[in-house]
A = this chain, B = another copy of it.
């Protein structure tokens, strides 16, 4: 049991991921292993990513999928059957407020379209349940602040689905940076993107997505720039390109953006909905460097540094994430670096990206 606890504690405390190699396997192989407690989770919104989360959570040791919230009754039977969801843990958006009286659900994972995150997180907070919300946290920083305040007032935890903060290759990169193995960070260069398919999907509708590539994959470039530097940007510039004004009538197709950090680092970032195999993270320091490619997908993540390939296990991102937040909640551990505040920091930059584009690339200074 200690191995498992140590493992989760290390994740919570942000201790070097190298030490974690293989531990989940070791822990689960211990005779009679079981978690002392479980974090019982309901998923709100049963779209494509909810399916990925649900499948991933079958590998969880501490978190357990027990409930669903959906506006589409036809989805219910399959979910009940696939994941053993009991009727008493099935909600729709009309009766969701009654989840407050359900002692068998601890946390709601909001996986609805981006622009509904604000409303839904407020609903979860009102029901006094812990909440994890898929990124982007909201449409803008103002909404994110309201969500943080609501969760604080309700006394519930508020996390963002930044699964990479639990991913071993990414954690090793962060560990190396924190340990000074790259020396002084000098430049960061991140790009994220893919060719978006179905032109009718919600991600292409401003009212549901809040924005386009920037809101979706751009957040990976941006969050990556922050964990590559360990700093918060003080200015932002951004540029947009749109080659298909029909498909991308409502949202951005391709955006490049630059983040100026207090130490002088400029991160040169970008994102697109317009081509595949576009993702990559690259950090250059005075003593070393790292490059990850793929860097932001659901795995496997691959990285090389000046020392050689990053040798870490391939894990299920969603399972690791859910067990990570479960441990923090159940065992009173320090929060992993995926709190609402972390989401807010990204949204402040996203706001500045769109403002810079509106102002023709002008430098937007970030005032905390």
Contact = CB atoms under 8 A, between A and B. Distances in A.
Nearest to A275: B186
A260 B356 CA distance: 16
Interface stretch (A80-88, A197-205, A263-271): A263-271
Contact of A266 (B237, B256, B363): B256
Number of copies: 2
Contact of A289 (B242, B263, B277): B277
Contacts of A265: 241
Contacts of A191: 187, 189, 268, 284
A140 interface: no
Contact of A363 (B189, B277, B361): B361
Contacts of A341: none
Given A239-B363, A241-B264, A254-B266, A187 B284 contact: no
Interface in A308-330: none
Question: What band does the interface of chain A fall in when counting residues whose beta carbon is under 8 Å from B?
Answer: 35 or more
Given A189-B268, A360-B362, A263 B237 contact: no
A339 interface: no
B243 A258 contact: no
Contacts of A241: 260, 264-266
A278 B243 CA distance: 31
Contacts of A272: 186-187
A278 B289 CA distance: 10
A305 interface: no
Contacts of A289: 277
Interface string A227-240: 00000000001010
A286 interface: yes
Contacts of A266: 239, 241, 254, 256, 270
A227 to B, nearest CB: 19
Contacts of A280: 282
B284 A258 contact: no
A185 B186 CA distance: 28
A60 B228 CA distance: 46
A358 to B, nearest CB: 12
A38 interface: no
A28 interface: no
A89 interface: no
A313 to B, nearest CB: 26
Contact of A270 (B187, B239, B286): B187
Contacts of A363: 239, 360-361
A225 B230 CA distance: 30
A274 interface: yes
Contacts of A356: 361
Given A275-B284, A278-B284, A239 B264 contact: no
User: Lowest 3 CB-CB distances: which A-B pairs, in order?
Assistant: A243-B264, A186-B275, A237-B361
14 contacts: A186-B272, A187-B272, A189-B268, A189-B270, A237-B361, A239-B258, A239-B266, A241-B260, A241-B265, A243-B264, A275-B286, A278-B284, A280-B282, A360-B363
Interface of A: 186-187, 189, 191, 237, 239, 241-243, 254, 256, 258, 260, 263-266, 268-270, 272, 274-275, 277-278, 280, 282, 284-286, 289, 356, 360-363
